[in-house]
């Protein structure tokens, strides 16, 4: 269960990290959209996991590798933004949030021949215990 302090720090990091990444993308003249979908902070506020959604998908891996390589600079820029609100900036770990890809796959499956609602025979038979 997250404490109120964890939630506040996570929300602050999410907002300011999105600003930092947007500014970096504009500076690098990249035509990409990077969203910070979620931030989770440990109870001791020493580590933060940031989940990113990157569009377009073709550039996702390349951009994510660049973010991981520049994590130290991103953390520094973020700490400059939040220095009056957070005493010590947590360590940042980045992850790709692929939930939008998953939703898209489900949507495509429902539109195509693999629709389990229209063709229930494609569903595997579950055994009841």
Tell me the mean pLDDT in the region 65-88. 93
Q: Is residue 112 part of a domain?
A: no
What pLDDT score was predicted for residue 55? 84
Q: Is residue 126 part of a domain?
A: no
* Per-residue pLDDT reduced to its tens digit, 10-67: 999 999 999 999 988 888 767 788 899 999 999 999 999 999 998 888 888 998 999 9
Q: What's the total number of domains in the chain?
A: 1
Q: Is the pLDDT of residue 105 over 90?
A: no
Q: Is residue 18 part of a domain?
A: yes
- Helix, strand, coil shares of the chain as percentages rounded to 5? 50, 20, 30
Q: Is residue 118 part of a domain?
A: no
What percent of the chain clears pLDDT 90, i.e. is strictly above it?
52
- Helix 71-82 vs helix 60-69: crossing angle, to nearest 10: 70
The edge-to-edge listing of strands for the beta sheet with 47-55 is 33-41, 47-55, 91-96
Q: What is the mean pLDDT of the chain?
A: 85
What pLDDT score was predicted for residue 38? 95
Q: Is residue 52 part of a domain?
A: yes
Measured distance CA(107)–CA(4) in Å, rounded: 35
């Amino acid at each position: 269960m997250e404490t109120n302090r964890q939630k506040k720090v996570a929300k602050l990091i999410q907002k300011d990290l999105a600003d930092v990444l947007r500014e970096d993308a504009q500076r690098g003249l990249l035509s990409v959209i990077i969203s910070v979908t979620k931030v989770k902070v440990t109870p001791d506020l020493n580590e933060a996991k940031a989940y990113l959604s990157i569009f377009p998908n073709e550039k996702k891996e390349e951009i994510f590798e660049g973010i991981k390589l520049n994590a130290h600079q991103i953390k520094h820029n973020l700490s400059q933004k939040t220095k009056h609100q957070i005493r010590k900036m947590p360590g940042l770990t980045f992850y790709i949030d692929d939930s939008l890809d998953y939703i898209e796959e489900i949507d495509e499956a429902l539109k195509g021949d693999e629709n389990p609602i229209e063709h229930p025979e494609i569903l595997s038979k579950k055994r009841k215990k």
